[in-house]
Structure formats: structure tokens, C-alpha cells
């Protein structure tokens, strides 16, 4: 039993993982999971800005009903590349490769992941995939939509489909290796006493995410490979002229790409569990339900891909089965939302920036998740399929959900990662700006979608303009809001207040190291005798009161 | 044997112990679980192609049977035997490593490698046959586009050339991907042989041999599925 | 363009109000839960804000009762949504008998439509109000999607197969037609209008727009010129090949024991890939016509076969196309040059 009063943190030393070794080679050939996490942090931020510029171009074009800013072929490339970059090079790696890589060993009391060199290889593969994709963008771009539907992508598109596909293919291996690493680490390297049900929920959700990564990613790999070979060799299985089946491509594609959206959201849910528990100083209500719901989402997520094919000539009976399962997969997410909310009951909530992001997540994810029910519902999906309603739905989950989770987690663990605090006032301000900007961008798109505005339209009938103008206005605010953290995080690395080992005064294992941590995290492997989120001894069932000011010294 | 290691052991344990593991047991367990997880991903990878095969076989039964008949069943069967024996020698290599018999271990590893390369050689012969018969699909080889002699193929009623081309597309995709995995396996075996000769492995540290053995067995099993599905499809038509 | 509420499009089909009703139910439930969760969050965040720096609240582990409650209730609500949506969907995708048929061929970047009575349209569809209309659709090149927001219905058009869509229009007017599956450069330009007309107006329109032969008559010409008659008989009576008269819509037994329904897809497949399904008692000697017929021509041959007497779908209310009737004037080449069914264009990179 380790109540918060009696932490034992080693006296901070001047050496930490950042200054332990200097020189480019020590970073590019590192085996330290924390340094690799920083390498990823830099890369995904870079790709996020590229994807963001594409988003800006889309929203500027859509200010007016005519296609007057960009040529249609250019616009088609812009939205395709926005999707490819954001999904494969930002959202899928973001939390697992930065926060996951950094924190998983620390949260389980290990010195590193199971395979540190494979971890580094994973980053290099990611960079190689990114370079190939950037080559495709610079050489002329790709215009098939990030969904690469055949036969347009195999026989009609005159763009760099193979190159872009190759970039994504290579990147997939980065995902697979990361997932493999996490699974083996969580199975074999937990510190003595760290049972599965003493693990923070961040680990449960990353475990579930890793299961999806290893099972789903190989399928998109082979699908892209088949697509590329068909395009290059002039014969294949997706070409109707030969008796091939374009809808087969859609099945194979979505078999991965639907679970992929759970790869994007589960880690964020793990972050939210951490934020809600730690900033309300209370264990998560229904811990095991939240843990199992992550696994349930991973499993069910593989069974619903057909809801992307309701209007694609899939059989009516298959449609019914997929619709039923799509409703079923929503239930575990609902359970999480209720449990997070219940955690706040009779808790002690502080309004720090990470908590603001967590609260925003819960609200926005509820909207995003429930609008998903519209799309699971067969008859309504027939009307809404391929309209802006779908675009609004998935942006609520991916930006309102995953991105908020990422930003919240980044703020929360920033003192541990960098040894500095970010400026709290600016943090809260930018969280608010992002929240307002985000809703203004995507709420009108729900309405435009039901009114019938199709997606991927370069020009549109004038009656949709009012929604597009609101949306673009929101996007500018959102963009501005996201620039602020980019600036102050960088600023804080030099001028930010030095952070103590446990600036938030929390019981998690990662806070029992110095800030920033030593390369080997723990000098001595800890022995875990307490439950997750144990702020006070479990036998104290009454309102506990407070821990002493001696915590100030930690 | 224990003595010889006592002199090289430093304070932190076996020389092959990585710094982030507590002990060799944990390291071995991690490596084994890691390889199993990796093989699951390989299963999903090949699974997509098996799915395509199943779909198109059910759609074009006559063409698939005709095309399958045209594959060289003798070479295919020999290759199957070669791979099965190589899995046996691989298993023996793992066993000998576990009990510390260095010479038999190295011999078995070399035998496995030789058998693997034999497999690849026979495959190359088969591929060359397809090339001369103009059976390589589409214009993958620009100078030799798909265009076999329809009569020589003995097409069954209902089979068309485009459907036969579909079969060969799947044949090359699956056996090609398999051959790529064999080549990688051969490379891994080479590493194992070199390190074995240097004496890196012993009963306490043989994880790499075990897990590469797992990989080799998996590649073998994939072939055991490929062979009947691709080569033995329409045999009953020939004599029926 | 907007309906009775600025949030919904015009309602112009029998589906519209049904889908809207479900949509409002979904919106209501969503609004309820969003407001509930938001209100609770805001209330808790204020009521339980941290008051002293070092306080720790009492830990509460959980409650099986609550977990069950908020698992079962959402599940039940979800099932109502599922059931309601499935019911409407089943109706939407079950094309009715005795509907007026219109053939649709989508291609980059236009819609080509042909009524069973011969009238051709490009990017426009004229239909009478109050009648069931069935669209039989395919694509010449890539996947497109026929979407009419006012009717609340859409369906992909896929190269290599026929898909169907049906609706019954309830209100005269002009409504948007969009392509709703990304198809390349001019995807946003592949739009048009559906005109729903009172019955008399529609008859006038029909009368004023004849000029090309009906699809069935054009199909009969093709039937002769392509040599189908040599095995299937001049009037589809059969011979070396199976009988076609009375075939459409009927169950057909195949070699190997399987029985299938001779629908549009089966007929199309039998022309392009005859070896796939052999009728019981016949040998697989029919040659393939892959590459020799365009999608338009396939649709015409299909219309002809459907018109042969004895099938479940003889030409309906509009019908004039009976076998033997000589078609008016020209060959069916009124549309812009189309490439043979399914052949690829474009560079490869």
C-alpha cells in the first residue's frame, strides 16, 4: 500500500534521457523508447501541418459554390491527400507512437519496451513511408480519394496511385511493429505486483489498439499490393472487364479501414480515462467495465465493415447483419462515457488544461458517436451515405475525439516528457478556441449533409453556401487555436517553468520518476502493491480529507 | 559447459541478456510471444489472397481446373517434400541447440538452408516454364505479355483465356509472396549459421534459433495449403 | 429546395416522410443524450470543483446495477433504431412488380437514361407522379451513385453488374440528381434534375419525345445481327441453345442441380461469361460476347428478352415493343461514343 503521502522518488539528478548523450547519432540510433517517442512527435507534427494546409485549401475553395479557386483535378488531389496524410501519417500513429511509446514502459515499471531496436525500426519505416508518399504528392499527387475505390484507381486515374499506395503500404509495417511491441511488452514486462487489473486504463486501451493493429493492418497491406499490381500489370481481380469485382476491393479495403478508426480512437479513450481519474482525484468508476469495453470495441470493430457498403450493391440481408452489429459496437463506447461521467460524481475536479480537453472530448465524442447511429441505421444511411453528414460524423470523432485526447495527453504529460510546464493560461485559452472553432466548422455540415450536399464536391448548388461559409469561418478559428499550443510548447522547452517530478501530485508509476526521466526510467524495478488510481489507502472508505503539504517536497 | 560460461558471465548475467530485461527467461518469453504475434499478422496477410482465390475459384471452376492442370505437379510435389523435410531438419536444429550439441546443430541448419534454396531453385524452373509458355499475366513482363497457346492448355468447356489469366495472376501473387518469405527465411538461416559457428547459442540462450524455426514452420505450412489449392484442383477432370 | 423545415430537403417520394420520421427520432434521442451528458458534466464540474489543494475524495469502485442499467437501456434504444431502419430499408431495396422501368447507364461524367418506351434523356429524368418507378442501372466505367435527396434514396451504379433503385414520387416538381460516389475529375458536375409531372403532362412529354426506337426493338435488331437467333431461335423459341421466350423472372435449373432465377444479372452474365452457368441439359458451347457489346446494347438486348411473351415481365403500361414489330428508323447510336463494355482507358503509372 503506497498512499500518496509516502512517495519515494529519487532525488532528481542533473542527468536525464534528453541530456544523457548529445549528438545527432545518439538520437538517430537511439534505443530509448522516450527518445523514439520524441522522434515520432516531431514527424507527426510535421505531417499534421501538411494535412492541415490541405484542409485549409479545401475550406477556402468551398467558400463559394463555384469551383473557382482550384481546378477540379487539383481539388480532387487536395482532399485525397488531406485524407491520406491525416489518417495514415497523423491519426493512426499519433497517440500510440508518441504517448504510448513514452509511457507504456514507465506505467508498467519497465526499463524499455520489449524490442527497443524494432521500436526504432518502426520509426524509420514510418519515415520511409512518409518520404515515398511525399514524393507522390510532389511528383503530381494522387486523386482517387483516400479510399482508392476501383476501377477508378486501377484503370482510370492518371495520378501517382502506385507511389501513394506504396507509401501507405510501407507505413503499415510501422503500425504492425508498434502493435507487436506493445502486446509483448504488456504481456511479459510488467513489474512484480502489477497484475492486469492494476494496470492504468491507458494500457488496456493500448493493448486493445495493438490487437487491431496486428490483425487489421496486414489486410490493407495485401489489398494495396493487389491494387498496385493490378494497376501495373493490366490484369487483376478488381477489374470488371475480366470478371473481376470492384466491390471485392471495397470489402477488403473496409475490412481494415473500419477497425482502423478504432485504432484512432481507443488510445484517445485511454488518455481520457487517465485525465478524468487524475484530475478528479478518483479511481475510474467501473474500472473493469471500461477495461473490457476496450477489448469489446476491438473485437466488434472487426465485424461491422459492411456498413460502408449499404448502398454499394451489398445484399440486403448482409446489410441487416452489419447494421445490427454496428449498433452493438456503439454500446461499449456508451458504457465508457457513462463511467467517465460517473467518476466525476463526488470527486475533486481541477480545471487544468488537460481536464478541459477531457471534458470537451466526452461531449464531442457523444455527439460523434450518436451521429454514427444515424449511419448505422439502414434507411437513414441510404439518404446520408456520401453526404457531408458522414464527413461531419467522422470529424467529430477524429478531431473532437482523437485530436482532443492527443492534445489533452500532451499537456498532461508534458512536464514529464520535457521537464517544463506549459503556460496554463494560454493552455486553457487555446482549448476553448479549439472547442468553439471545431464546433462551428462541423456542426453546419450535419445539416448540409441531410439537405443532400454530397461529399468530395468541388462545386455545389448555391443553396448550400451558407453552411459552407459557417464551416470555413469555424475552420479558421480552429486553425488559429491549434497554432497556439504549437508555439507555446516550443517556447516552454526553453523558457517554461521547470517541472518537479510529480507536478500534479498523482499516484501513477510514471510520476515516481524524475522529470524528465532517466534513460532507464527506474533505478530499481518497483514492486507494485497498490491498485490503479489509488489516491488513498483502500481501507479508508470515508471521505478521506487531504494528503499533507509534505507532498510539496516531491 | 557451465564452467565455460562462468568465465564469460559478467555481474549482470548471460552476455546475451539485453539491458531492459530482468533475466533470460523474460527475454526468451518476450521473443517467443513476439514471433507468434508476428506470425498472426502473416496469417492475415496471406488470408486476403486466399480469400480472392476462393472467390474466383467458385466463379470460374472450369478455367481454374484447366489452368491448374497445366502446372507441373511433379515439381510441385517434389517441392512439397523438400519443404517438409526442411521443417524436420529445422526442428532438429532447434533440438540440438537446446541440448547443446553444436556440430549437429550447425549441420541441420545448413541442411535446412540447402533444402530451402533447392525449393527456390525448383520454383525458378517452374516460373521460367511459365515465361516460355507466355503465361505471365497482363504485361508484367512487357516483352512477353500474356498470350499462351490456347490449344496446348486443353481448356475445359466453359473456360476462357481471361479467366485462366486470373488463375495465373493469383498463382504468381501467392507463390511469389511465399517465395519472398522463403528468401527472407534463407537470409535469417544464414545469420543463424554464422552465429552458431561463432558459438553464440547454447542451452541457456537459443531464443533466436527457436523463433526463426517458428517462422520457417509457418512458411512451410503456407506452402502445404498452397500446393493442393493451386496444383491439385482439376486432376479428376483429366481422367474423368 | 428546402422542405417544410429548413433542416430537411423537399419531400417528394413515399420514402421521404418515413426516413424523415426516423431521422427526427434519431435526432431527438441524440439531442436528449447530448444535453443530458453535457448538463451532468457541467453540473458535476461546478459542484465538485476542487476547493482545497490537497483534498482527496472518497473512492467509489462502481455499481453493477448502474452498469447493467446503462448497458441495457442504450441497447434497447439501439435495437428500436435498428428495427425501424431495417424495415424501411427492406422496402427500399425490394423493387416492386409492375413498376415503370427506366434504364440508367452512368458514365464519366453524365447520366444516360432510357425509358422502356424509347425516350432518351441525358442528366434528366421525367417521371409521372404517383407511379412506382424502377431504375435498372449500370456503369460504363467506374463506380457512380444515383442520388436524389428529395426521394431520400440512392444506389451505387457498378460496372459489371446491374443495380436497382425504386421510388414512387408524391409531389410534382424539379429535384436535384447528384452523383454520390467519387468518380474523378468532374464528379461534382455529374448532376442533373428529376422532373416529377402530373400524369397528363407526363403523357404529353412522352408523346413529344419519341424519335428513337424502344430499347426492346433495338435489342431485337442486335439479337439478329449478333447471331443469337441461330441457336436461340428467331423468336427465342430455343434450339441448340435454351429457350428465351418466357425465361425472364422464372426459376431455371442449371447443370449441377442448382436452381436460380433468370433476372437481369443472370442474362447479362450469360452474354458476357456464358460458361459460368450452364442450363441443365445443354452443353457449354455459347461463345462470349465480352468486348463486342456496349453497356447500352446489353440493356437493349435485355429489354428485348424481357419483352418476349411468357415471362413474368412482359412489357407493361408503355409497351409497344413486341417481337417482330419493326423498329422506327435508326440504329441506337444516339448517345455519344461509348466504349465496349468494361474496357479500360487511361494511363497507367
Domain with residue C137: its CATH number is 2.60.40.420
Asked whether residue C49 carries a pLDDT value surpassing 80, the answer given is yes
Contact A141, A80 (CB under 8 A): yes
The mean pLDDT of C206-218, rounded to a whole number, is 80
The verdict on C46 and C164 lying in the same domain is: yes
Q: Which residue of B has its CA nearest to A251?
A: B48
- Residue given cell 520518476 in the structure block: A513
Which position has the grid cell 541442411?
Answer: B111
C285 and C267 co-located in one domain: yes
**CB contact residues (below 8 A), chain A span 275-314, against chain B:** none
* Tens digit of each residue's pLDDT (9 = 90 or more) over C137-164: 999 999 999 999 999 999 999 998 999 9
With contact defined as beta carbons under 8 Å apart, do A84 and A145 qualify?
Answer: no
pLDDT grade, residue C3 (50/70/90)?
Answer: low
Give chain B's contact residues with A (Cβ, < 8 Å). 18-22, 26, 29-30, 33-34, 37-38, 40-49, 51-52, 55-56, 59-60, 137-140, 146, 162-163, 165-166, 169-170, 173
User: How high is the pLDDT of residue C258?
Assistant: 79
With beta carbons under 8 A apart, name residues in chain C contacting A158: 346-347, 349
C15 touching A (Cβ < 8 Å): yes
**pLDDT over 90 at A14, yes or no:** no
Share of chain C above pLDDT 70, in %: 87
Q: Which range among A258-267, A534-543, C336-345 has the greatest average pLDDT?
A: A258-267
Q: Shortest CA distance to A340 belongs to which of A406, A401, A270? A: A270
Q: Are residues C35 and C152 in the same domain?
A: yes
d(Cα A205, Cα B72) in Å, to the nearest integer? 50
Mean pLDDT over residues A322-351, rounded?
95
Of C177, C196, C212, the position where a domain reaches its end is C212
Distance, CA of A451 to chain centre: 30
- Per-residue pLDDT band for C310 (boundaries 50, 70, 90) equals confident
For C288, the closest chain B residue by CA position comes to B160
Report which listed range, A415-424, B134-143, C90-99, is most confident.
A415-424
Alpha carbon separation from A326 to A289, A303, A400, B48 (Å, rounded) = 20, 8, 21, 23
Give A87-115 pLDDT, tens digit per residue. 999 999 999 999 999 999 999 999 999 99
Residues of A in contact with C341 (CB under 8 A): 241
What are the tens digits of pLDDT across the range A170-217? 999 999 999 999 999 999 999 999 999 999 999 999 999 999 999 999
Range of the domain at A88: 4-553
pLDDT score of C327: 36
Query: Neighbours of C (≥3 Cβ pairs closer than 8 A)?
Result: A, B
Same domain, C261 and C273: yes
In the predicted model, what is the mean pLDDT of residues C23-44? 96
Backbone phi, psi, residue A45, to 5° = -65, -40
Query: Helix count (H) and strand count (E) of chain A?
Result: 17, 1
**If we measure between CA atoms, which residue out of A198, A205, A182, A200 comes closest to residue A292?**
A205
Last residue of a domain, one of C291, C307, C323: C307
Of C172, C187, C212, which residue constitutes the final position of a domain? Answer: C212
Beta carbons of A282 and C59 less than 8 Å apart: yes
List chains adjacent to chain B, taking adjacency as at least 3 C-beta pairs closer than 8 Å.
A, C
Is the CB of residue C285 less than 8 Å away from at least one CB of chain B? yes
Do C36 and C138 lie in a common domain? yes
User: Do the Cβ atoms of B41 and A217 come within 8 Å?
Assistant: yes
Segments forming the whole domain that contains residue C106: 8-50+95-212
pLDDT number for residue B157? 74
Distance between CA atoms of residues A35 and A116, nearest Å: 11
Q: Does residue C76 lie in a domain region?
A: no
Q: What is the CATH number of the domain that holds C262?
A: 1.10.760.10
Residues C206 and C224 in one domain: no
Q: Let me know: does C116 contact C214? Beta carbons within 8 Å.
A: yes
Query: Is the same domain home to C204 and C120?
Result: yes
User: How close does chain B come to C239, measured CA to CA in Å?
Assistant: 19
C40 vs A: CB within 8 A:
yes
Cα distance between residue B1 and residue B23, in whole Å: 20
Residue C65 in contact with partner chain A when CB distance is under 8 A:
no
Nearest alpha carbon to residue A376 among A331, A413, A427, A443: A331
| Domain-embedded: residue C242 | yes
- List of domains in chain B: 45-235 (1.20.120.80)
* Nearest-5° Cα angle at C155, C152 to C159: 160
Mean pLDDT of chain A: 92
Q: Locate the DSSP E strands across A139-195.
A: none
pLDDT of residue A401: 96
Residue of A nearest to B53 (CA): A237
End-to-end CA distance of chain C: 43
C253 occurs within a structural domain: yes
Tens of pLDDT, residues A396-409: 999 999 999 999 99
CA end-to-end span of chain A, whole Å? 18
Structural domain includes residue C324 = no
- When pLDDT is cut at 50, 70 and 90, the band that residue B238 belongs to is low
Instruction: Tell me the pLDDT band of A360, cut-offs 50, 70 and 90.
Output: very high
- Torsion sign across C-alpha atoms C313, C314, C317, C320: positive
Asked if pLDDT for residue A553 goes beyond 70, the answer is no
Claim to verify: residue C208 and residue C219 sit in the same structural domain: no
User: Does the pLDDT of residue C341 top 60, yes or no?
Assistant: no
Q: C203 and C131 in one domain? A: yes
pLDDT for C270-293, tens place per residue? 888 887 788 888 887 888 888 788
What is the reported pTM?
0.89
What's the pLDDT at C200?
92
Contact call for A377 and C273, based on CB within 8 A: no
CB A239, CB A162: distance < 8 Å = no
In chain B, the N- to C-terminal Cα span, in Å, equals: 63
User: Is the pLDDT reported for residue C231 higher than 60?
Assistant: yes
Most confident of A24-28, A471-475, C259-263: A471-475
Residue of B nearest to A32 (CA): B20
Is pLDDT of A165 > 60? yes
- Number of structural domains, chain C? 2
Same domain, C114 and C189: yes
Contacts of C275 in chain B (CB under 8 A): 60, 62-63, 157-160
Rounded to the nearest 5°, which phi and psi values hold at C156? -65, 145
The two most distant CA atoms of chain A are separated, in Å, by 77
Whether C312 is in a domain gets the answer: no
How confident is the model at residue B162, as a pLDDT?
A: 82
In the prediction, which pLDDT does A8 show? Answer: 53
Rounded CA separation C140/C158 (Å)? 8
- Shortest distance, CA B235 to any CA of chain C (angstroms): 19
**Whether residue A12 has pLDDT greater than 80:** no
Q: Say whether pLDDT at B227 is over 60.
A: yes
Chain A, chain B: beta-carbon pairs less than 8 Å apart: 111
- What does the alpha-carbon distance between residue C161 and residue A385 come to, in Å, rounded to a whole number? 21
The predicted model gives B42-57 an average pLDDT of 90
Residues of C in contact with A292 (CB under 8 A): none
Give the span between the Cα atoms of A327 and A322, in whole angstroms: 9
Residues C153 and C27 in one domain: yes
Distance from the Cα of B58 to chain C's closest Cα (Å) equals 10
Which residue in B has a C-alpha nearest to residue A218's C-alpha? B45
Q: Which band of pLDDT confidence, cut at 50, 70 and 90, is reported for residue A413?
A: very high
- Residue B101 pLDDT > 70, yes or no? yes
Task: Write out the H or E segment, with its range, that includes residue A550.
Answer: none
C30 & C137 share domain: yes
C-alpha cell at A537: 489507502
Q: Hey, of A236, A240, A522, A524, which one would you mutate to test binding to chain B, going by the most B CBs within 10 A of its CB? A: A236
Report if residue C318 sits inside a domain.
Answer: no
* CA–CA dist A495, A500 (Å, integer): 15
Check pLDDT > 60 for residue B233. Answer: yes
Say if residue C326's pLDDT is above 70.
no
What's the DSSP call for residue A146?
Answer: T
Please indicate whether, in this complex, the C-beta atoms of C288 and B59 are within 8 angstroms of each other.
no
Quick check: is C343 in a domain? no
CB A139 within 8 A of CB A216: no
8 A C-beta contact, residue A412 and residue A354? yes
Q: What is the 3-state secondary structure (H, E, C) of C35-68?
A: HHHHHHHHHHHHHCECCCCCEECCCCCCCHHHHH
pLDDT band at B1 (very low <50, low <70, confident <90, very high): very low
- CATH number for position A62: 1.20.210.10
Q: What is the pLDDT of residue C331?
A: 35
C284 at B interface, C-beta within 8 A: yes
State mean pLDDT over A272-290: 94
CA of A345: how far to CAs of A497, B205, C74, C331, in Å?
A: 33, 53, 21, 77
Contact B41 A188 (CB under 8 A): no
Per the structure, how many domains does chain A have?
Answer: 1
Q: Is residue C346 a part of any domain in this protein?
A: no
| pLDDT for res C316 | 37
C84 in reach of chain A (CB within 8 A) = yes
DSSP letter, residue C286: P
C101 vs C315: CA distance, rounded Å: 9
Answer whether C278 sits within 8 Å of B59, measured CB to CB.
no
Amino acid at each position: 500500500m503506497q498512499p500518496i503521502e509516502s512517495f519515494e522518488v529519487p532525488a532528481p539528478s542533473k542527468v536525464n534521457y534528453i541530456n544523457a548523450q548529445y549528438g545527432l547519432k545518439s538520437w538517430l540510433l537511439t534505443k530509448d523508447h522516450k527518445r523514439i517517442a520524441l522522434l515520432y512527435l516531431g514527424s507527426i507534427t510535421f505531417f499534421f501541418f501538411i494535412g492541415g494546409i490541405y484542409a485549409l485549401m479545401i475550406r477556402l475553395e468551398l467558400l463559394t459554390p463555384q469551383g473557382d479557386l482550384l481546378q477540379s483535378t487539383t481539388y480532387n488531389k487536395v482532399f485525397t491527400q488531406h485524407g491520406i496524410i491525416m489518417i495514415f501519417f497523423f491519426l493512426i500513429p499519433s497517440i500510440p507512437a508518441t504517448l504510448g511509446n513514452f509511457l507504456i514502459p514507465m506505467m508498467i515499471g519497465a526499463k524499455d519496451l520489449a524490442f527497443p531496436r524494432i521500436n526504432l525500426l518502426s520509426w524509420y519505416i514510418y519515415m520511409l513511408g512518409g518520404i515515398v508518399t511525399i514524393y507522390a504528392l510532389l511528383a503530381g499527387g494522387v486523386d482517387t480519394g483516400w479510399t482508392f475505390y476501383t476501377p477508378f484507381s486501377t484503370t482510370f486515374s492518371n495520378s501517382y496511385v502506385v507511389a501513394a499506395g506504396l507509401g501507405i503500404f510501407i507505413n503499415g509495417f510501422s503500425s504492425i511493429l508498434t502493435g507487436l511491441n506493445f502486446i509483448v511488452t504488456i504481456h511479459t514486462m510488467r513489474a512484480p505486483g502489477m497484475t492486469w487489473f492494476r494496470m492504468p486504463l491507458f494500457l488496456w486501451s493500448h493493448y486493445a489498439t495493438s490487437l487491431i493493429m496486428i490483425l487489421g493492418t496486414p489486410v490493407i497491406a495485401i489489398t494495396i499490393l493487389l491494387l498496385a499490381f493490378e494497376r501495373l500489370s493490366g490484369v487483376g481481380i478488381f477489374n470488371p472487364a475480366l470478371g473481376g469485382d470492384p466491390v471485392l476491393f471495397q470489402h477488403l479495403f473496409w475490412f481494415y479501414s473500419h477497425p482502423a478508426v478504432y485504432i484512432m480512437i481507443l488510445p484517445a479513450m485511454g488518455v481520457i480515462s487517465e485525465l478524468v481519474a487524475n484530475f478528479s482525484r478518483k479511481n475510474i468508476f467501473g474500472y473493469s467495465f471500461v477495461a473490457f469495453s476496450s477489448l469489446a470495441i476491438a473485437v466488434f470493430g472487426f465485424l461491422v465493415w459492411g456498413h460502408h457498403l449499404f448502398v454499394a450493391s451489398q445484399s440486403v440481408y448482409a446489410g441487416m447483419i452489419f447494421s445490427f452489429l454496428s449498433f452493438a459496437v456503439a454500446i461499449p463506447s456508451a458504457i465508457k462515457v457513462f463511467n467517465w461521467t460517473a467518476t466525476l460524481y463526488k470527486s475533486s475536479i481541477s480545471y487544468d488544461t488537460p481536464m478541459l480537453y477531457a471534458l470537451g472530448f466526452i461531449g464531442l465524442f457523444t455527439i460523434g458517436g450518436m451521429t454514427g447511429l444515424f449511419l448505422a441505421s439502414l434507411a437513414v444511411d441510404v439518404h446520408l451515405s456520401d453526404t457531408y453528414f458522414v464527413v461531419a460524423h467522422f470529424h467529430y470523432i477524429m478531431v473532437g475525439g482523437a485530436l482532443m485526447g492527443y492534445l489533452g495527453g500532451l499537456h498532461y504529460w508534458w512536464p514529464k516528457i520535457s521537464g517544463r510546464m506549459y503556460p496554463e493560461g494560454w493552455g486553457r485559452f487555446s482549448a476553448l478556441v479549439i472547442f468553439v472553432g471545431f464546433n462551428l466548422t462541423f456542426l453546419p455540415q450535419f445539416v448540409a449533409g441531410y439537405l443532400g450536399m454530397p461529399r468530395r464536391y468541388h462545386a455545389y448548388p448555391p443553396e448550400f453556401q451558407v453552411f459552407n461559409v459557417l464551416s470555413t469561418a469555424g475552420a479558421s478559428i480552429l486553425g488559429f487555436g491549434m497554432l497556439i499550443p504549437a508555439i507555446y510548447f516550443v517556447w516552454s522547452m526553453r523558457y517554461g517553468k521547470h517541472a518537479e517530478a510529480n507536478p500534479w501530485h498523482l499516484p501513477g508509476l510514471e510520476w515516481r520518476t524524475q522529470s524528465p526521466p532517466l534513460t532507464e526510467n527506474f533505478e530499481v524495478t518497483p514492486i507494485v502493491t497498490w491498485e490503479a488510481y489509488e489516491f488513498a489507502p483502500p481501507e479508508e472508505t470515508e471521505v478521506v480529507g487531504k494528503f499533507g503539504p509534505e507532498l510539496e517536497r516531491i | 559447459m557451465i564452467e565455460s560460461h562462468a568465465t564469460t558471465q559478467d555481474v549482470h548475467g548471460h552476455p546475451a541478456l539485453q539491458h531492459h530485461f530482468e533475466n533470460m527467461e523474460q527475454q526468451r518469453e518476450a521473443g517467443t510471444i513476439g514471433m507468434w504475434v508476428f506470425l498472426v499478422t502473416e496469417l492475415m496477410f496471406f488470408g486476403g489472397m486466399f480469400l480472392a482465390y476462393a472467390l474466383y475459384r467458385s466463379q470460374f471452376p472450369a478455367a481454374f481446373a484447366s489452368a491448374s492442370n497445366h502446372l507441373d505437379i511433379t515439381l510441385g510435389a517434389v517441392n512439397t517434400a523438400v519443404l517438409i523435410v526442411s521443417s524436420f531438419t529445422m526442428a532438429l536444429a532447434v533440438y540440438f541447440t537446446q541440448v547443446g550439441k553444436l556440430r549437429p546443430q550447425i549441420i541441420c541448419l545448413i541442411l535446412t538452408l540447402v533444402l530451402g534454396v533447392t525449393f527456390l531453385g525448383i520454383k525458378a524452373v517452374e516460373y521460367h516454364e511459365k515465361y516460355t509458355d507466355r503465361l505471365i499475366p497482363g504485361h508484367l513482363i512487357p516483352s512477353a505479355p500474356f498470350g499462351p497457346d490456347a490449344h496446348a492448355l486443353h481448356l475445359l468447356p466453359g473456360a476462357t483465356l481471361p479467366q485462366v489469366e486470373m488463375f495465373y495472376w493469383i498463382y504468381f501473387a501467392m507463390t511469389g509472396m511465399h517465395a519472398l518469405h522463403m528468401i527472407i527465411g534463407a537470409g535469417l538461416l544464414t545469420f543463424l549459421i554464422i552465429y552458431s559457428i561463432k558459438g553464440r547459442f547454447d542451452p541457456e540462450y537459443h531464443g533466436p534459433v527457436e523463433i526463426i524455426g517458428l517462422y520457417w514452420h509457418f512458411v512451410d505450412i503456407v506452402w502445404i495449403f498452397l500446393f493442393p489449392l493451386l496444383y491439385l484442383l482439376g486432376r479428376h477432370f483429366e481422367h474423368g | 429546395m428546402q422542405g417544410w423545415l429548413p433542416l430537411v430537403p423537399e419531400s417528394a417520394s413515399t420514402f421521404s416522410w418515413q426516413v424523415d420520421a426516423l431521422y427526427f427520432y434519431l435526432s431527438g434521442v441524440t439531442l436528449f443524450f447530448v444535453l443530458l451528458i453535457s448538463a451532468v458534466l457541467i453540473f458535476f464540474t461546478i459542484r465538485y470543483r476542487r476547493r482545497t489543494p490537497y483534498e482527496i475524495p472518497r473512492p467509489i469502485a462502481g455499481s453493477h446495477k448502474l452498469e447493467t442499467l446503462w448497458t441495457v437501456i442504450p441497447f434497447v434504444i439501439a435495437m428500436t433504431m435498428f428495427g425501424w431502419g431495417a424495415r424501411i430499408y427492406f422496402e427500399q431495396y425490394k423493387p416492386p412488380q409492375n413498376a415503370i422501368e427506366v434504364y440508367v447507364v452512368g458514365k464519366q461524367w453524365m447520366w444516360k437514361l432510357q425509358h422502356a418506351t424509347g425516350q432518351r434523356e441525358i442528366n434528366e429524368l421525367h417521371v409521372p407522379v404517383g407511379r412506382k418507378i424502377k431504375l435498372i442501372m449500370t456503369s460504363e466505367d467506374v463506380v457512380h451513385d444515383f442520388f436524389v435527396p428529395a426521394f431520400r434514396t440512392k444506389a451505387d451504379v457498378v460496372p459489371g453488374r446491374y443495380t436497382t433503385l425504386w421510388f414512387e414520387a408524391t409531389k410534382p416538381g424539379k429535384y436535384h440528381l447528384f452523383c454520390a460516389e467519387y468518380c474523378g475529375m468532374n464528379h461534382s458536375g455529374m448532376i442533373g434534375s428529376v422532373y416529377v409531372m402530373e400524369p397528363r403532362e407526363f403523357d404529353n412529354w412522352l408523346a413529344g419525345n419519341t424519335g428513337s426506337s424502344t430499347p426492346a426493338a433495338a435489342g431485337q435488331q442486335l439479337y439478329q445481327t449478333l447471331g443469337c437467333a441461330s441457336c436461340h431461335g428467331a423468336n427465342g423459341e430455343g434450339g441448340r441453345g435454351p429457350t428465351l421466350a418466357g425465361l425472364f423472372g422464372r426459376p431455371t435449373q442449371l447443370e449441377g442441380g442448382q436452381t436460380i432465377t433468370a433476372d437481369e444479372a443472370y442474362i447479362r452474365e450469360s452474354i458476357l461469361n456464358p460458361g459460368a452457368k450452364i442450363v441443365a441439359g445443354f452443353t457449354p458451347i455459347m461463345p462470349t460476347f465480352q468486348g463486342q457489346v456496349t453497356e447500352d446494347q446489353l440493356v437493349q438486348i435485355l429489354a428485348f428478352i424481357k419483352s418476349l411473351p411468357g415471362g413474368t415481365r412482359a412489357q407493361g403500361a408503355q409497351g409497344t415493343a413486341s417481337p417482330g414489330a419493326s423498329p422506327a428508323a435508326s440504329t441506337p447510336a444516339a448517345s455519344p461514343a461509348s466504349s465496349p463494355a468494361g474496357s479500360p482507358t487511361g494511363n497507367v503509372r
